[in-house]
Structure 1
Amino acid sequence: MARTRLGTHIGVVVDDYRLDPADPGLRDFVTELLLQHKVVFFKSQHLDRHTFMQVAKRIGRTEVHPFISEDEPVVHGISPFQPYHEYPEITGIYHDEEHTGNLNAWHSDLNWREVPTFGSLLRAVQIPPRGGDTCWANMAAAYASLSSEVKEQLDGLRVVHDWMQIYFPAFDGNDETLARMREKYPAQSHPLVLTHPFTGEKSLFSNKVSGVRV
């Protein structure tokens, strides 16, 4: 099994390794790689949706997106479109000429939840011959690069994360449902500088998609 680092601060590619949901060491192996490299690419897996779901459940506890849709994306161009009725935890993201997406900006998945997710698993089903790149950033390295003076200014600040900035258009003309979802998923205040519960690393936790600094 070969591991190739992709950059100075983030990313590793793993070759000659099979994501096997029957492997009792799968969770620990993947978690170790995630904690060390933040983003892990497993090449040549060819997972169908059934095995993909089994792998995800072996690695961690899966959840269903609050704004799931079985018919079409709640907001065109972005998740959560649910392509498989038997697996509501799997959401689809697709872009084409008509659905170009509106999350082409730095963000964290489900950062507006009371308990943000540990991570996301992505399975590339169809990719374009060029472009279509997804980029990641190491926010722990970003924090570490700041001066002591700036760190002191940021420590103790909080950020309000609100899904309304993303999904509000989905409730146009449906004030009753909007009010119900607003009550169920209120805006959340999280520290701007988070301390990772496993590594102790400090990282920045904010983005312009659904975060307002306070």
Structure 2
Amino acid sequence: MNIVVAGDCEKHDFILVAAILLKGYYNNDVMIISDNRRHYQYFDGEVSGIQIRDAEPDVADRPDIVLYDWHHGYPEGLEDEQIVFATSYERQAMEHVDELLDQKHMPALLVVIEEECGLGLNYVDRYYPVITSKISYITSAERRIDWVHDGRVNLKVDKDFAGAVNDFLIEIGNVPKNEIKKLWQYARKRGE
């Protein structure tokens, strides 16, 4: 399963939690590949059993589930991938989504990272009417920064963030809704 989350915004916290929960549900190796190592470099290539890379692995080393955290353009050479776009309200993030749409990439889902500003979800709905499925969560500088400094992921997260991850797992990861609560409990018990 290839899942591309493309967007010029800070979404490593979302990708990390989704990867951990997908690993727990499918009981398979999971890898994150990013074209921007800025935040992932502090995890030393692995966190909670999730491999983190900045380049495509050899076919023999490739796990069944790969999440692409892409910031510039779109990864090349993928087939049958699930496409997700991510944006904040920042101008460059929204322009990146515009470029991806112009390149004829159509996402199954848009993840909106909300911040305090004059814009809101209604604006995003009007700006991207062709993207029908959207989820959102409120950004947390503490979560994004603390995890990077600690080099580990804390699964005690805000309710809106957990809800967005849950929706992502259901819509993109094919995790049944009735398994979500048990999945979080299992991951927390393992100390992820």
- TM-score by length of structure 2 reads 0.25
Structure number with bigger Rg:
1
Bigger strand share: 2
- TM-score by length of structure 1 reads 0.23
Bigger helix share: 2
